[in-house]
Amino acid sequence: MTNIHEQAMNNVYQQVLQRLLSFFSRAERTALQLLIQRLAVAAGGMEQMGSYKVLAIQSGSRDCCYTLALLRAAQLTIATRAPATFQLRVATLRLNSTSSAALDNIDRTYSALFVHDDPRVELLMVENREVLPFDPAAPISKAGRESNRMNLLMIGHRRTSDEPLELWDDGYLATGEFYGQIARWNHGVDALISGDSPRQQKQFIEGLNRAATKAGIGLTSHPDSEFGCLFARLDELGSDCYQAFYGEHGQVPWRPAEQFEACRRSTFISIHDILVGNLEERWPLLSEFLGFKADTLTRQLNDYEYASPGIAAHIEGLQACFVQGQTYEAGVARYLQRTLVMMHRRQLPERLCEQAVEAFGNPAALDELRAQAAAEAQLSLGLSEAQLVCLLFAPFTKNGARLEHFLRKCHPGMLVALPDLHRAMQGQPVAEQIMQWMIDVSGLPVSLIGQLYRMAPVSSQGGGAAAWAGTDAQAIEGPDDAPLSGEWSAGR
């Protein structure tokens, strides 16, 4: 019965492979052969392939789904030629910003590639430092949502006053920690496979370094900015990137703890150079076979999967309104102008530019845009508009050096309570209503505000504005070398 079942499943896998290959162009078939050769060399020969395990990160983005389809084609093709094929671990990090649309894209991709019941494939999801089977219907836990929200705030509050708010910096750090841990879970993996371009790799490493510095982690070695240094960077990060904020008892450990290897054996294999760069060639495979669905405008405006263009524009508006003494409209207009420059540099279709103008360029619709973005920030990030404004000022670090300025700009009625606010951050008793105001306006417990009070702001040393700048200061410098995939890069 076992042999009959195995034969039946092999027939199914053959049918999946043939249908998958029917969507491949000639260039993609060539890329597939090059990928198989690269994996064989890395494994030490085709005869070693059965004991070789690779890791692919799946976030529901367009390029993640495409890369997984290519890996699946390689896995099934090798199975027809050799006694055994490689093992595949596919892992998803669940953050507050991970959308249901992204999870649905992942689930449809898995179903199309027939990986759910294949013993050669592990489908994992990490949420609040726990490794779980992938389940697109499972809601994010209350503890996980709160942990993500706290981490975002603590990282964000450590920037200097003259730098833009990099609201999604924590996404880099959470993703880096995720890479390091999932690569050594359950006997580990031999290689992480990624189709990200050198530019994307550089962007991620810079974002990871910037966020790690804000979290109090010194990264002194390995100056390379591409993924050749990734695992050395991750070894420096360790298993708890947020210990400087919370101490030993602040966050749950990675679990199940007994299933993590003490040492990691993984290497990094880039396949960007063999991927087909033309989106039009990829699209039939993505849409017709994998069932991928994208919000076209949102996906084109994002340079990070953490970043929502609506929230990004909202932050620009709040920055202009509260920090710069301008109008909300002026900030959104600045965001739109930079976005259009980026889109023209990328030679995106004019219809997308028109959609961007329609979304962000209508003054009559600004009140509705602001309300929608505020609702999205509250729903996805757990942050109110008042808490976003507080984050823009980052008033608590360096013994509350910017607190008085923040109060004068945004809460002049609280100036009379300034001495009490300082006492509260120093750990001294104050009136309950003072403490409640601090919690409401910041989104943080007073104990963590006190932790920020004792910390110094951290400068990005010029990296912050270029690496964020709303819709991408880097893109303004020149056209992209490839479509952005970004696991950092929750579905483009």
Answer yes or no: are the C-beta atoms of 446 and 439 closer than 8 Å: yes
Tell me phi and psi for residue 56, to 5 degrees.
-125, 135
- The amino acid sitting at 356 is A
What integer pLDDT is reported at residue 385 of this predicted model? 95
Instruction: Give residues with Cβ within 8 angstroms of 90, minimum separation 6.
Output: 55, 56, 57, 58, 68, 110, 115, 121, 122, 123, 124, 134
How high is the pLDDT of residue 227?
75
pLDDT band at 368 (very low <50, low <70, confident <90, very high): very high
Distance in angstroms (rounded) separating the CA atoms of residues 88 and 130: 20
Tell whether the model's pLDDT for residue 471 goes beyond 60: no
**What is the rounded average pLDDT for all residues in the chain?**
86
Q: Between residues 346 and 387, which one has the greater pLDDT? A: 387
Average pLDDT over residues 465-472: 31
- Residue 268 CA to residue 190 CA, distance in Å, equals 9
pTM, 2 dp: 0.87
pLDDT tens sequence across 59-104: 998 889 999 999 999 999 999 988 899 999 999 999 988 888 889 9
Q: What is the mean pLDDT of residues 113-129?
A: 96
Q: Going by C-beta distance under 8 Å and a sequence separation of 6 or more, which residues neighbour residue 304?
A: 168, 171, 486, 488, 489
Of 67-76, 118-127, 181-190, 455-464, the range with the lowest mean pLDDT is 455-464
Cα dihedral 28→29→35→36 (10° resolution)? 160
pLDDT tens track for 266-303? 899 999 999 887 667 788 899 899 999 876 566 555 54
β-strand pairing of 121-127 with 87-93:
parallel
Query: Is it the case that residue 218 has pLDDT exceeding 60?
Result: yes
* Domain assignments of the chain as residue spans, ordered by start: 2-289, 297-387+464-477, 395-453
Q: How far apart are CA 471 and CA 307, in angstroms?
A: 9
Cis peptide before 457 (omega within 30 of 0): no
Return the pLDDT at 492: 32
Q: What is the mean pLDDT of residues 247-251?
A: 75
Residue type at 230 in one-letter notation: L
pLDDT band of 487, cuts 50, 70, 90: very low
Q: What are the C-alpha distances in Å from 190 to residues 20, 44, 199, 429?
A: 26, 11, 24, 54
Q: 468 falls in which pLDDT band (50, 70, 90)?
A: very low
- Compute the average pLDDT of residues 246-275: 86
| pLDDT above 50 for 216 | yes
Q: What is the mean pLDDT of residues 202-227?
A: 79
Residue 253 backbone zone (phi > 0: left; psi -120 to 50: alpha; other: beta)? beta
pLDDT at 245: 93
Q: Is the pLDDT of residue 467 over 70?
A: no
Q: What is the DSSP letter of 241?
A: T
**Neighbour-count burial for 208-238, b at 16+ CB within 10 Å, e otherwise:** bbbbbbbbebebeebeebbbebbbebbebbe
Higher pLDDT, 348 or 466: 348
- Indicate the range of 103-117, 203-217, 313-327 predicted with least confidence: 203-217
Contacts of 406 (CB under 8 A, 6+ apart): 390, 393, 395
